[in-house]
Amino acid sequence: MERRDANAIGWPGALLGAFVGASLVLELLAPPRPQLSAAAEAFVAQRRAGARGLETDCARELERLPGVGEVRALAIAQARWAARGSGRALVLEEVPGIGPAIAEGIRAEYARTEPASTPASW
């Protein structure tokens, strides 16, 4: 019976060492992550705190609102981003497919779940 040297790693160990070394080198050479803007930092802080609102809910969460399906949720998300880009507040009644009744239902749902998360301008 042949006896192997206990200190001999062999080719699997060498291959693993090469991969680990290469990943460390790539991590050191990678550019630093960009810093988030103040608005993005505030958004992340709100989401981590569990705050819900028209400004923070994603399209999947918006779909759960009364009278809002997939298409309306995406329309709200698009209108929200357009409003942010132009520096104005989101007005639900201006979103295609949302009338006064659906807008009131959405406001009522946010008021019912978390009164502090819904600004009066919606």
Give the mean pLDDT of 104-119. Answer: 73
Question: What's the whole-model pTM score?
Answer: 0.54
Judge contact between 118 and 106, C-beta under 8 A: no
Judge contact between 44 and 36, C-beta under 8 A: yes
pLDDT at residue 74 is higher than 90:
yes
* Span 46-65, pLDDT tens digits: 778 877 788 878 889 899 88
> What integer pLDDT is reported at residue 7 of this predicted model?
61
> What integer pLDDT is reported at residue 84 of this predicted model?
81
Judge contact between 106 and 54, C-beta under 8 A: yes
Q: In whole angstroms, how far apart are CA 115 and each of 4, 41, 48, 61?
A: 71, 23, 18, 17
Residue 2 three-state SS: coil
Which residues are within 8 A (CB) of 74 and not within 5 positions of it... i.e. 6 or more apart? 59
pLDDT at residue 69 is higher than 60:
yes
Cα–Cα distance for residue pair 104/114, rounded to 1 Å:
15
**Is domain 52-117 annotated with CATH 3.30.420?**
no
